[in-house]
Amino acid sequence: MMENGQRKTGKRLLRIFLLLVSSVLVVAASASVLNYLYMQASPITAEPAKVQFVLTEDSEAAGASIGTNGTYVSLNSMAGWPNATRVYQAAVGIRNFDSASRNITLAFASWSGDTDQIEFITVIVRDAVGGTQQGSPINIGTSGSSTGELIIPAGATWVVEWNIKWKAGALSTNSVSVTLQLLVKGE
């Protein structure tokens, strides 16, 4: 009888122990151990852009206006005669001010307006006015169209040529807006 009571007590103790162990395990599993590390960026400086848009031969004709720091350009007076191709051989330039070459990509981003009246707009990057074409021509209106990645040598100025042809039936009230993106790789 006595042995029977001891056996029951032992079982109870075992159950309590297992319960305690389980509790510990549960607590251990749900608790987070956080280690705090710190990243300090200082200084984050504004530095001159290594590659910039610059004015060239046809910038005035194209109505080019370079934004502060040369990272934006607005061309606000480009036009074309219906059924004739207007070529701005150097609407704007891209200059590498760095002492090392840079990888750049000029790409079509978006357009809007009377796009159905456009026969074509093609943008070509050349190493000089009327010079060697760099990369592929950009077909405005074609998603993803770009020059491909180009390597502009240190100190070089390339020109961006615009070829614009309106359809024969275009009216003087027709216009489009075009946005290109220039990606300059690296710091």
Could you list the residues that contact another protein (CB under 8 A)?
Answer: 49, 51, 53, 57-58, 60-62, 71-76, 78-92, 106, 109, 113-114, 117, 121, 129-130, 160, 162, 164, 166, 168-187
| For another protein, the closer CB: 14 or 154 | 154
Going 65 to 67 to 70 to 72, the CA torsion angle's sign is: negative
| For another protein, the closer CB: 23 or 112 | 112
Cβ(71)–Cβ(49) below 8 Å: yes
* C-alpha dist (Å) from residue 169 to 48, 87, 176: 46, 19, 15
**Within a 10 A sphere around the Cβ of 66, how many other Cβ atoms?**
17
| For another protein, the closer CB: 17 or 148 | 148
Q: How far is CA 84 from the centre of its chain?
A: 33
| For another protein, the closer CB: 3 or 116 | 116
Q: How far is CA 95 from the centre of its chain?
A: 18
